[in-house]
């Protein structure tokens, strides 16, 4: 049971955010603002969304990409974080689960996800 005042405050925080509609199985490009000393820069993190969890301002999503030497790298992003510059959906994936943790054991072509075709 959540407090109605906290919920109304969270709604006010979420109204000015522009977040695209995406699900697990979609390929995302997340532009993350990184601060190094005095300077800030934007770094893109491109990978497959394998999970979305939480609600309200505490909502997070997990993105998995294959790094150097075919090592899987997963990163959890808060959906409404100030450090996220933008989220872009590159591909819509056709999956039958909400959490794609089984991809951790798969390698190469077995880890591919079919693209969702619109009719």
**Residue 37: predicted pLDDT:** 92
pLDDT in tens, 71-93: 899 999 998 888 899 999 999 99
The highest-level CATH class for domain 19-111 is: mainly beta
Residue 119 banded pLDDT, cuts 50, 70, 90: low
Rounded average pLDDT over 61-66: 94
pLDDT in tens, 97-110: 999 999 999 888 89
The residue extents of the domains of the chain are 19-111
CA distance 57 to 13: 8
3-class DSSP string for the chain: CCCHHHHHHHHHHHHCCCCCCCCCCCEEEEEEEEEECCEEEEEEEEEEEEEEECCHHHCEEEEEEECHHHCEEEEEEECCCCCEEEEEEEECECCCCCCCHHHHCCCHHHHCCCECCCC
């Amino acid at each position: 049971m959540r407090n109605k005042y906290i919920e109304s405050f969270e709604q006010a925080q979420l109204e000015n955010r522009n977040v695209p509609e995406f699900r697990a199985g979609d390929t995302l490009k997340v532009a993350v603002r990184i601060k190094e000393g005095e300077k800030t820069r934007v770094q893109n993190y491109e990978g497959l969304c394998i999970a979305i969890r939480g609600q309200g301002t505490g909502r997070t999503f997990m993105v998995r990409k294959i790094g150097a030497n075919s090592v899987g790298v997963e990163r959890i992003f808060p959906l409404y974080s100030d450090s996220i510059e933008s989220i872009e959906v590159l591909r819509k994936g056709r999956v039958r689960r909400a959490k794609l943790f089984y991809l951790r054991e798969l390698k190469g072509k077995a880890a591919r996800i079919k693209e969702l075709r619109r009719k």
